[in-house]
Each structure stands twice: as structure tokens, then as C-alpha cells.
Amino acid sequence: MRTDAMAQPAPWVIDRFGDKLAAELWHRVPMALAAAVRRALDAHVASQMNTNHAFGSARWPLQYEELVTHLQALPNAMPIRPTRAFYQLIIVGGHVLLPWHYGKQAGVDMREVRPGKSLGLLARSILAHFGPEPRYQQMPLPSMPKDDDEPDVAQISEILANMNPPPKTIVVGYACNAHQGLLRVCLGDAALGMDGEFQWYHCDALPMPAVHVPEPRRGEV
């Protein structure tokens, strides 16, 4: 993974999206996640809670919402809002962008993180049906229990399957926490093996925008 946060998109991103669209994504995706984390931090401060529950609860839907807000005006961008879902997915250049909060520290390599419950059922389903083929297969592990926060996964998968051609996938990984804000943003191309683990093809760090971090509340460490 590149760690120099270069201003130019990675070659594989340019190959997927073309020069102009890749350049837009390279800068707009970090801006979108910075906005999502900033709004989650505002909710955290407003809650006056000593735990991070408000931050995490707000961050989950906001990651989708801000990607739509920042990317929907791009050429070949299409938001998808399934019935009953309270957020939207965004497809850009024939790719579904799947946000993944993979860690809380800047120095963590996204490729070394096991998906676990941090990668929800929606992202797992989309990667399994529309992601690249795994290089190798292993025996599957027992399926994860359904998370109450997950939308109707089957409905979303059906919408995507009816598209012609069906979309491909891009993993939008990011690290953040309630004390430091957004710490790192990466784009990745990964297959999801039958064992539920990622098999990475490409992964690159994106340039980081400036992020406002609120002052800690009284009693916070």
C-alpha cells in the first residue's frame, strides 16, 4: 500500500475509471468521509455521553450519506435508495463504493485487518455477488448473525443484479476515532473468500483533507 498520500490517483484506479473520474474520486472520497466523521463528532459532542456510542451510531449511516452527497454529481454516478432503507448507496463508473470502518488508528494497514463484524452483511453480500473472484477458496465459516442496523440486503442485491451490466465493487476503507477524527482513507479492490476473509488485489492510501477535531469535553481523556 502506498503511504505517501500522493496527489495523483493510483494506476489501477485510473485504469478502472479513466483519468478525469479517477482524479475526482481520489479527492472527493476523502472529503466525503471527512464530512461524515465531522458530523459524527458533532453528534458525539452534543450527546454529552462519556462513551463513544453516539459517535459510532451516527457514523454508520453518515458514511453512506456523505459519499452520495459528494459523488452524485459526477459523470456516470447513480445513487440507489431501496425501499425502507434510510440511506443510499452510490454507484460511480459502474462500481459500487462500499465504505468500511476498518480501524481506529492511522498506522493500521487495511489489508491486515480481518473483516469481522465491522464489515456488515450488506457489504459482504455485494462483494460476494459482484466483487472479483477469489484467488483461492477455503471452507466457509458459519455465517454471521444479522445485525439489526442492516437494511434489506436481499432487496439491494436484487436491484444491483438487475442492472445491465451488473456493477463491480470498490472498498472504501477508513480509520477514525472520536478523539482524533478521520485518520486515513484507502481505496481497495478485494475479493471476499468463502472463509469471510479479504483477498486483496490492490490497495492505496488517498490524500487526507484537513479535519476539524472538537475540543474534548470535561472529564474526557
Domain coverage including residue 190 = 11-205
C-beta of residue 199 within 8 angstroms of C-beta of residue 191: yes
Q: Considering all CA atoms of the chain, what is the largest pairwise distance in Å, rounded to the nearest integer?
A: 54
- Residue 186 maps to a domain: yes
Domain assignment of residue 30, yes or no: yes
What domain count does the chain have? Answer: 1
pTM of the model: 0.84
Structural domain includes residue 1 = no
Let me know if residue 214 belongs to a domain: no
pLDDT in tens, the chain (221 residues): 544 446 789 999 999 999 999 999 999 999 999 999 988 888 766 766 666 666 767 788 899 999 999 999 999 899 988 776 666 899 999 999 999 999 999 999 999 999 988 888 889 989 999 999 887 665 444 444 444 445 567 788 888 999 999 999 999 999 998 888 899 999 999 999 888 889 999 999 999 986 555 554 444 43
- For 109-123, the three-class secondary structure string (H helix, E strand, C coil) is CHHHCCCHHHCCHHH
Question: What is the Cα–Cα distance from 31 to 187, expressed in whole angstroms?
Answer: 13
Cα separation, 130 vs 125, whole angstroms? 8
> Do residues 122 and 129 touch, judged by C-beta distance below 8 A?
no
Query: Would 129 be classed as within a structural domain?
Result: yes
Domain assignment present for residue 128? The answer is yes
Rg (CA), the chain: 17
**Domain assignment of residue 6, yes or no:** no
Residue 107 lies inside a defined structural domain of this protein? yes
